[in-house]
Chain A
Amino acid sequence: MSRPVEGSPPGDVVLEGRGLTHYFRVGGGFFPSRLRALCDVSITLRRGYILALVGESGSGKSTVAKVLARLVAPTSGQVLLDGVDVLRTEPRRASLRFRGRVQMIFQDPYASLNPAHSVGYHLERPLVRHQKATDAAARRLRVHSLLREVGLEPPETIASQWPAELSGGQRQRVAIARTLAVEPDVLLADEPTSMLDVSIRAGVLNLMRRLRDGRGVAILYVTHDIASARYVSDAIAVMYAGQIVEQADGETLVSEPAHPYTRLLLAAVPDANQDPLPLPAIRRGAPSLVDPPAGCAFAPRCPEAVERCRTHVPEVTEVGLGHLVRCHRVHEGGWQSGEVPDQS
């Protein structure tokens, strides 16, 4: 969000995105249009801290991860590593040093490993490239310890196997081990569990918690699953139509959501342990990002929208300790926090 979080959790800031805005070009020919994927997104990743980024498909959450990983150059905004704007210091592409500190895990472990190389090769490459282990014997030892760290045993066997011989969960662990090979300070995990079987997911989520606690890695966990976000993360940021609309620690976000969209999202999550909350009767879908609404992007669907919501983009307000909300109505106390708004 656009200002630093006060009194927030421990850990120094490692990687930060400031005022990130990104437009994608859509449609070819002479009159391409522009799709607003990100609009003034600010995000802070701290040592030993997991920030979850949740949102519907198309909300821009993966684009945030890609911009921070420098796979996508933002239209405007800054990406700061240790306070230095890397878009300025290394404008053309990310340096080896940057990539040694910031690593990304992708959604599909079936696509992110090369079928023609063994598991061991996948893990040795970054060790050579980043000069983490120079002689072959040291590399092999390092590969084995990496495999053990992500729970792949016995490492001697796994290292000589091909990606095709592994299950999805094992492949995702290999992909994670590969990012750990360079001993990064930041992991950007884009839906790391959504392709995995349910019984395997808990293992990957627990692995992320272990990395945070053991190595003090700063993690951005991008997901559409708010329940798993609450499970692994220290704080959750909710994205809607290219903006972060609310951010708070997991418990606060779930028990006292302040933004109407967050409340809609929470009411929609299936929950076996409780009768479903009434869902506000909202029929309209997400707004067009090619021609975004003038005011708050959620205003067309928001049961509480007033005139100002349709004309002015709301600023970020801090409503509690580290609890940030982008909504006009929080100033007015127009509703009780935690209550599900009803359209009638």
Chain B
Amino acid sequence: MNEPVLRVRDLRVEYGTTAGRVRAVDGVSFEISPGEIFGLAGESGSGKSTVAKALLRLLGPPAIITGGSVMFGTEDVLDLDERSLAQFRWRRASLVFQSAMNALNPVMTIGEQLTDVILAHGGTSSMRARQRAATLLELVGIDPERLKSYPHQLSGGMRQRVVIAIALALDPPLIIMDEPTTALDVVVQREILGQLSELQAKQHFAILFITHDLSLILEFSTRIGIMYAGRLVEVAPAGRIATSPAHPYTRGLLRSFPSIRGPRRTLSGIGGTPPNMRCPPTGCAFHPRCSDAIACCSSEVPDFRSVGSTHKAACHVL
């Protein structure tokens, strides 16, 4: 097996609030191999976006990274100084987030914004940067003529593609995508993800794909981590998650989605409500909503156990 592109160990992030510290990410560990699409799924507040931002050290106060390591090769991102951080971002790992399409500068053309990124990091001539910008737009399926357009002249789907093109600009080995298509219509979403898979097959970058949409993540990723209340509760290949989920929360999630094909099953959803992170439940955070819970679930935090060679889950009742 290749050396992983990214190795996250025991990552901890806290938010300082008036009511005290809230632990948003609590001991998360995973790795991503080159060319892999690793999906991170969870409900709002589960900490998945905080993980994404922590990986690039984009978190500002009141968030504090309180522990762990984020290794890209031999470098720990958490140890980098500001200058090496600027070099690291975009070149080694780039980020596309949900409302990224609204992050484009409205008074600059698409072309200027693309070449800007390339020149800022590149050391190439502006001539070459413009050529590269045109190639990038073609890669994501937009006519290079559009380099002269301003963001408001493009549809939401096209703007999101431009942002993906910017993320690809420096050929980073890892692209982090946080709900990249959530704001878009399904047809556009399908087009963008289709193009992305093609590109990914050609250029072999790895993707950390974050979304709340389980059917989307099951279809698009190769391996999946399920987050609940700041912790990873299950990690397995996509096929295993779909067919033999081990954690009760994952099973509950799968029972919450209607399917478009096959028999119409009654959805049971998950009882109770997502935890309040200001005072998270003791022990396993899922135990108040879990129908399988036993005595130790409310007192001890479960560790990961292997359910197969590539499949692990954090649950006392396995």
Interface residues of chain A, those whose CB is within 8 Å of chain B, are 56-57, 167, 169-170, 197-203, 205-206, 224, 226-228, 230-231, 250, 254, 264-274, 276, 279, 282-283, 285
CB distance from A126 to the nearest CB of B (A): 25
Known: A197-B43, A201-B269, A270-B215. 19 other contacts (CB 8 A): A167-B274, A170-B273, A198-B43, A198-B213, A198-B256, A199-B270, A199-B274, A206-B267, A224-B185, A227-B257, A228-B258, A264-B187, A266-B260, A270-B186, A270-B189, A270-B218, A270-B220, A272-B215, A279-B190
User: Per a CB cutoff under 8 Å, which of A199, A205, A230, A268 touches B190?
Assistant: A268
Residues on the B chain within 8 Å of A230, using CB: 258, 260, 264
Residues on the B chain within 8 Å of A170, using CB: 273
**Considering the chains assembled together, what is the distance between the CA atoms of A283 and B142 in angstroms?**
10
Nearest B-chain residue to A203, judged by Cβ: B269
**Considering the chains assembled together, what is the distance between the CA atoms of A224 and B260 in angstroms?**
13
Residues on the B chain within 8 Å of A265, using CB: 186-187
User: Per a CB cutoff under 8 Å, which of B155, B252, B259, B262 touches A199?
Assistant: B252
Given A56-B185, A56-B187, A276-B219, A285 and B274 touching (CB < 8 A)? no
Determine whether the beta carbon of A272 is less than 8 Å from that of B260: no
CB of B157 within 8 Å of the partner chain: yes
Residues on the A chain within 8 Å of B43, using CB: 197-199
Determine whether the beta carbon of A272 is less than 8 Å from that of B258: no
User: Per a CB cutoff under 8 Å, which of A169, A200, A206, A268 touches B187?
Assistant: A268
CB of B242 within 8 Å of the partner chain: yes
Residues on the B chain within 8 Å of A264, using CB: 187
Interface residues of chain B, those whose CB is within 8 Å of chain A, are 43-44, 141, 155, 157-158, 185-191, 194, 212-216, 218-220, 242, 252-253, 255-262, 264, 266-270, 273-274
Determine whether the beta carbon of B188 is less than 8 Å from that of A273: no
Q: Which 5 A-B pairs have the closest CB atoms?
A: A202-B269, A272-B218, A231-B258, A199-B270, A202-B267
The residue among B186, B216, B220, B274 with the most chain A CB atoms within 10 A of its own CB is B186
Given A202-B268, A227-B260, A272 and B242 touching (CB < 8 A)? yes
Given A199-B269, A203-B269, A267 and B155 touching (CB < 8 A)? no
Given A198-B256, A271-B219, A285-B155, A231 and B213 touching (CB < 8 A)? no
Residues on the A chain within 8 Å of B267, using CB: 202, 205-206, 231
